[in-house]
Amino acid sequence: MANQKKMDLLGVSAFCESLAMMIGAGIPIGEAVSLLEQKDGDGVLASSIREMEKKIGEGHSLTKAMEESTLFPEYALRMIEAGESTGKLEDVLKRLSSYYREQNTIRERLRSVLIYPAAMIVMIIVVLGIMLKWVLPAFSDVYETLTGSLSASSYRYIEYAYLFCRIALIVMIVLVVVIVIGLLMYNGSGRKTVEKILSKNPTCAAILEDLALYRFTSAFEVFLASGEMQDLALLNAKEMAAYEPVQEKLEKAAKRMEEGVGFAQAANDVQLYEPIYGRMLIPGERSGSTDSVLHRLNELLLESTNHSIDRLINTVEPLLSGILMITIAAALLSVMLPLIGIMNSIG
């Protein structure tokens, strides 16, 4: 059990949603978990869920049973523990279900940003390799057969073609290496370094900030739903942002809240959100509808993130397609010019 993989995001979402529905229907937690185990049957989760059911039957909390199964992320465990302690477990489970479903959507969108460029770069490398290995040597052999030897000017065109393809190939290989190193760093200890580099690009910076704000706001909303005070909810949710510029603003907001102001005013003072979003919080807090405002704010942040991702994709796709077409066109033009010269001399 200790080495078991974590459940994927959609799995966590489905688990939380199913459990919330059964708890809402008045089914005891132990029996609800048992029903989930029957639904899973003999699948990979069956033994873990059976073990959870056993732990709950022995008097352990749902959080403890989930923790020992090692299936669930730390954030979900913290939220469910807070929900159990405040008697708002059903509400917390519903919010967690929505949170992990939306997180999965964002992850898939970000993955699409990487997959298409990676495929295009591989295609460019393959095309350049074919040009250097077979196409250019074939043209050189044909020209030497036709003319006995290539003239200095004609041979210069072929040399240009070889040079252009070699440079382009080296650039593409270096780009692949940089991307691979960047991914390894991002998934390891060099995440902050990669984020600093990416933040130099306005579109990437907007994506990183919107994602961080979305993660924080989602966590903050769930912590509030679990019954925590605003200042504690902010401190607990701050780590979920996982982006230094946003975390710095949150620290400033926490200090403002220590001075006696509410979250809405503190967030507005440190410009945590865009003004158009931030202005939603103050009237929402005064009217006692902070939860609904935060939920709407999450939706807007998600839309903004998707818009930024679309804009990045729409920039990268034509750029790489253009590089591929220019590379092929330049190489073919270089080898066709000698042929034009030969045809003119024959004519």
Same domain flag for 202 and 67: no
Angle at the Cα of 279 from the Cα atoms of 275 and 285, rounded to 5 degrees: 145
> Is there a contact between 23 and 84 (Cβ–Cβ < 8 Å)?
no
What pLDDT digit, counting tens, does each position of 232-276 carry? Answer: 889 888 888 889 999 999 999 999 999 999 999 999 999 999 887
Nearest to 122 by CA among 163, 175, 164, 167: 175
- How much is the pLDDT for 248? 94
- How much is the pLDDT for 272? 92
Q: Write down the residue that tokens 């190489």 correspond to.
A: 331
> Is there a contact between 74 and 63 (Cβ–Cβ < 8 Å)?
no
Average pLDDT over the chain, rounded to an integer: 83
Same domain flag for 335 and 230: yes
User: Model confidence at 129, in pLDDT bands (50, 70, 90)?
Assistant: confident
Kindly tell me if the per-residue pLDDT of 281 is higher than 60: yes
Same domain flag for 137 and 36: no
Reading the block at residue 83, the tokens are: 């929900």
Same domain flag for 141 and 59: no
- How much is the pLDDT for 206? 87
Same domain flag for 38 and 154: no
CB-count exposure of residue 235 (10 Å: 0-12, 13-18, 19+):
middle
- How much is the pLDDT for 152? 52
- How much is the pLDDT for 147? 59
Q: How many CB atoms lie within 10 A of CB 197?
A: 14
Asked whether residue 97 is domain-assigned, the answer is: no
Q: What percent of the chain has pLDDT over 90?
A: 17
Asked whether residue 115 is domain-assigned, the answer is: yes
Same domain flag for 16 and 132: no
Asked whether residue 257 is domain-assigned, the answer is: yes
- How much is the pLDDT for 40? 45
Q: State the number of CA atoms in the 13 A half-sphere of 35 facing the CB.
A: 14
Name which of 21-25, 130-134, 324-328 the model is least confident about: 324-328
| Better-predicted residue by pLDDT, 20 or 319 | 20
- How much is the pLDDT for 263? 92
What pLDDT digit, counting tens, does each position of 54-100 carry? Answer: 899 899 999 999 998 888 988 888 888 888 887 888 988 998 898 88
> Is there a contact between 270 and 254 (Cβ–Cβ < 8 Å)?
no
Residues of the domain holding 108:
102-347
- How much is the pLDDT for 2? 45
- How much is the pLDDT for 153? 54
What pLDDT digit, counting tens, does each position of 18-38 carry? Answer: 999 999 999 999 888 888 865
Asked whether residue 87 is domain-assigned, the answer is: no
What pLDDT digit, counting tens, does each position of 148-201 carry? Answer: 555 555 566 677 778 888 888 898 899 889 888 988 888 888 888 988 898 888
| Better-predicted residue by pLDDT, 104 or 161 | 104
| Better-predicted residue by pLDDT, 197 or 322 | 197
- How much is the pLDDT for 306? 82
Asked whether residue 90 is domain-assigned, the answer is: no
Q: How many domains does the chain have?
A: 2
User: Model confidence at 17, in pLDDT bands (50, 70, 90)?
Assistant: very high
CA distances from 280 to 98, 203, 226, 256 (A): 22, 25, 22, 19
Average pLDDT over residues 279-296: 85
Same domain flag for 52 and 127: no
- How much is the pLDDT for 266? 93
